[in-house]
Amino acid sequence: MTNSIAGRLRLLRHRLGFARRSDMAAHLGLPSSTYSAYEGDGGPPKVEWLLELARRGVNLNWLLTGEGEMLLTAHDPASMNPTIIPMPTNAGAPTSLRPYPVAEHEPAVDAYLLAAMISRVEREERERGRPLTALEKGEMIARLYAASARLTESELAGHPLSRAAEAPEK
């Protein structure tokens, strides 16, 4: 078993029957250079792309951590039901995140990450040409949050969302 997201992307590509990175990129609607960078350890995939993989049945827990099965199936009840994700507490939040200030006993909320997820939900609504239901929005944000919660601090440090958190306000 490989220990990196890039290595697991290679395994996924081969499992799906694509010998070349460019073929996998075309299948996913990504520029070849973007997919090659993800598979070549050029940084963690963007949250939007992770969501697309989840829609196609890829187990994001497996992709990000190596735990569980590579693909979710229609027979897997966990893949059919909404996911409830416990939020990390301030003590468990990576230092690279900027949590919204809360009382000591309340969970930390990364306002930048949450804003990026809301933006992704809004874009999904525009792409579909209709508003999403509250459940669809909740499931989408839960999947995005689960994916981001499993990234290590060093993986987050190179992620565009982290750079956005570090950018000075205009």
Position 53 confidence tier, pLDDT thresholds 50, 70, 90: confident
CB 43 within 8 A of CB 158: yes
The predicted structure's pLDDT at residue 168: 45
- 161: pLDDT strictly greater than 50: no
Q: Which amino acid is at 61?
A: N
pLDDT, one tens digit per residue, over 130-151 is: 998 888 888 888 888 777 766 6
**What pLDDT, on a 0 to 100 scale, did the predictor assign at position 110?**
66
* pLDDT over 80 (residue 11): yes
- Cα 160 to the center of its chain, rounded Å: 12
With a pLDDT cut of 70, the percent of the chain lying above it is 62
pLDDT at 127: 93
Say if CB 142 and CB 84 are below 8 A apart. yes
∠ at Cα 14 (29, 26), nearest 5°?
A: 15
pLDDT digits (tens, 9 = 90+) for 87-111: 444 444 444 344 444 445 555 666 6
pLDDT at position 128 is 92
Q: Which residues lie across from 144 on neighbouring strands?
A: none
Count Cα atoms within 13 angstroms, Cβ side, for 35: 19
Burial 1-35 (b: 16+ CB within 10 A, else e): eeeebbebbbebbeeeebeebeebbeebebeeeeb
